[in-house]
Chain A
């Protein structure tokens, strides 16, 4: 089923299929023909449909719900309210901390944000459920809401001491520095906006629950369901074969998930619930709005003496989210004095969540704009400014970088972009009425690591199965794990079947923070190696084997055929050998978990994020790096900004499949273009509602907004970051894009916009 069978000569296949080869997606044919069934597209007998009713106030309480009209509407099976839905147990959080309350009601009596679910209608058809949901009457006592960070009632918030990073005497050194800049940078509430909405189908059989739900973390979500319904972990099966985009949003079981599973249990029927598009803006958190102040003091040669950074992000009234705003600030540049502190401010919103490169993304917007401002103040080229202050080691952890190809990224990007031809003065490059600006910014993301496991099976017909409860939401997990297993075992990719997205497979932790490829290639490499050793061991020792008595120390497998490395003796296909041995399968479970782990530690390794390995563990500090070079064209009369060219050079270490890695990088860059120019959740100041909760008003980049994008890989294998030498890919690409665009807009117009998105009214 793989494309290389159709498009490439056999001689190309080995090169494409090897780890590091540009193999097309093995799950591609299913996706381009409509054969790929996403989680909530499963067809089940007796399926009922649920639709949610959301709060129309942002703060207060529900005083009464009249469900009579809805209950008697055609096809309605049940109307669930806080009073009628079954009681659930409280579930632990994603760190594994026990719940604050012993019980949980996923429908709210106390309202803390607009859109919060207050009722659900279940009916025979989707249309009946939608119609009946509009008949549910809800009465509220409304209290004043804190609508966003700029609300007068919001206050300064709560200090998060764990975010404080300080060395030297930053305030004094800043005050004494001969050259100083200080500015405030804001990013708005932004949304992941995956094309596939959140939703699920839940089905109970006795006390066993099956949930078909798009998921970035099957094991973590299965744990939550098990705790809500007080059933053993193994009684929950989560299925998520394909995920229509997540970008951080699909890692947790949420209130609507609990409502659906409860409805299915109460009705004794499978229930499907899919959030409509507006509900996808309020049922889970996007990126928190942020405010930062960055002050940099430097000497007259441009060498930084001090960085003082203060940050704030919004969080929910009844939930905590910290967007680490000092993460890039503290490591990008060498400085003898540094101070970063952060507060969070509670507002009436759903609790914010992870969106592509949480923390690093807004952090880079602050520091990478500020460094550009400092370069302008000093009359230095912004690229030279960055090289003058290049951090030769991690300035915070005071450890050597595992690998840092950032200098190489600056050089390769500048060369490909033609940076040397940049005219330094703002407003000095134009074409007719279009002002042209060139900007640069750097980005980074830590290498998040974890322990993993995988099962590899050699089957009687010579095919190979790889099983893992990890997932593929477009990063290419199916493909790179097929490449890893094929290369390790010595079989063609066309003989390998990768099975993902079922929590009853070998366990996997969260797919987030760009950790999956490194964890899973390592686990599959190990499992496939064990399966190969077992095959060779049997071939040499089993009296039924034609290799028995060959006196060989080992055998080799190439292109699915097994032989002696000396060329003597037989050569036969794996299937033939399996048949002679009378074996149906050889199965190996490989893991990278320390042998000392107890079963409970293993369980926590996969179902919480508490066991992740620090990126500064041991002697090294591990990060991916990138440099973005951007050209913008700004209409002098109308202030419209178009990105006309992007060249990005990126260090993600070794790439397991450059074709797919480049796609992810470009995807991150494009999301960064949206962040810079288009995306902003707008809150109605009267009612605390997101007023642009749809794809017409919350503007995502379209094809017409995106120019040619050139990506250049400058990475080298990093043995300290992963088993096969890769670092992170998916999160990296977006980090630094928005500041590169903001810096280019300044170069084009002479106007510094420090408030994202950079819309035309801010330029005219």
Chain B
């Protein structure tokens, strides 16, 4: 049996595998953006299709925010936009102009004092390889702020969007519980 499979982008410019084919290839036009990240303004000249995640990692060299799946499935890219947790891989940089963005690099105090969640992650050994950790911590800060850290069960549920392959989950629950108590007191 021999068949010929032709992998040929449709001429009408429809989407193929989620990527614009030639008819829709964006023009080299770039946007001038001003993003407020961790209290600082950053000027960017980027294509409209650049995600917040790639803007952070590839343009602004803020690599603390991690890319695990690029499809909103793992949570490693979690950042805060106006104080709410957001997946940076599913957010275009152009969408967040004028809003307040916080990444893991901006969580500790200026003098280096760790946020209560960061300190608890360290003490409870709530990570191993550390790659999902910035996203876990950003989620945990929001989880506590949302009022979703009332019990271990609740923490597990509201932290379930952040995958950890090293399997630090029980220690993450312990860290979020500890930080929530410290932040309440």
Contact = CB atoms under 8 A, between A and B. Distances in A.
A195 B66 CA distance: 9
A270 interface: no
A243 B157 CA distance: 28
Contact of B63 (A37, A276, A475, A695): A37
A664 B163 contact: no
Given A69-B22, A195-B165, A31 B133 contact: yes
Interface string B127-141: 111111110010000
Interface in B45-94: 47, 49-50, 54, 57-58, 61-71, 73-74, 76
A137 interface: yes
Contact of B74 (A27, A139, A195): A195
A63 B65 CA distance: 41
Interface in B137-158: 137, 155-157
Contacts of B63: 34, 37-38, 41
Given A43-B61, A127-B54, A195 B132 contact: yes
A248 to B, nearest CB: 12
Contact of B131 (A6, A75, A245, A706): A245
A194 interface: yes
B66 A244 contact: yes
Given A664-B128, A695-B68, A701-B167, A57 B21 contact: no
Given A25-B122, A704-B160, A56 B7 contact: yes
B167 A277 contact: no
A143 B71 contact: no
Interface in B90-117: 103-105, 107-108, 114
A592 interface: no
B42 to A, nearest CB: 15
A302 B17 CA distance: 58
A694 B16 CA distance: 18
B16 A134 contact: yes
Interface in A651-700: 659-660, 662-664, 666-671, 694-696, 700
Contacts of A244: 66, 129-132
B6 A695 contact: no
Contacts of A694: 69, 71, 73
B43 interface: no
A266 B15 CA distance: 32
A668 B167 CA distance: 7
Interface extent on B, as a size class?
35 or more
Contacts of A133: 19
Nearest to B21: A134
A475 B130 CA distance: 11
Contacts of B121: 28, 32
Contact of A25 (B125, B134, B161): B125
A138 interface: yes
A139 B133 contact: no
Interface string A4-19: 0011000000000000
Given A33-B118, A669-B167, A694-B69, A704 B133 contact: no
A564 interface: no
Contacts of B4: 63, 139-142
A142 B123 CA distance: 55
Contacts of B173: 703
Given A130-B19, A695-B73, A666 B167 contact: yes
Contacts of B129: 194-196, 242-245, 473-474
Contacts of B71: 277, 694-696
A274 B8 CA distance: 25
Interface in A127-151: 127, 130-131, 133-144
Interface in A54-73: 56-57, 63, 69, 73
Nearest to A280: B69
A197 B67 contact: yes
A32 B122 contact: yes
A34 B159 CA distance: 19
Interface string A691-735: 000111000111111101100000000000000000000000000
Interface centre among A6, A73, A703, A706 (most CB of B within 10 A): A703
B156 A704 contact: yes
A24 B49 CA distance: 41
B28 A131 contact: no
Contact of A33 (B19, B107, B159): B107
23 contacts: A28-B127, A28-B130, A32-B104, A32-B121, A34-B62, A34-B104, A34-B134, A69-B9, A74-B25, A74-B27, A134-B20, A140-B4, A140-B5, A194-B165, A196-B68, A277-B68, A474-B128, A662-B125, A694-B71, A700-B165, A701-B167, A702-B163, A704-B156
Given A56-B5, A138-B7, A663-B166, 20 more contacts: A27-B130, A30-B130, A33-B104, A36-B130, A57-B5, A73-B22, A73-B25, A134-B19, A134-B20, A135-B9, A143-B2, A192-B165, A195-B166, A243-B129, A277-B69, A473-B129, A474-B166, A662-B125, A695-B74, A706-B167
10 closest pairs, A vs B, by CB?
A: A34-B64, A244-B131, A474-B128, A670-B167, A31-B130, A667-B167, A474-B129, A695-B73, A34-B104, A41-B63
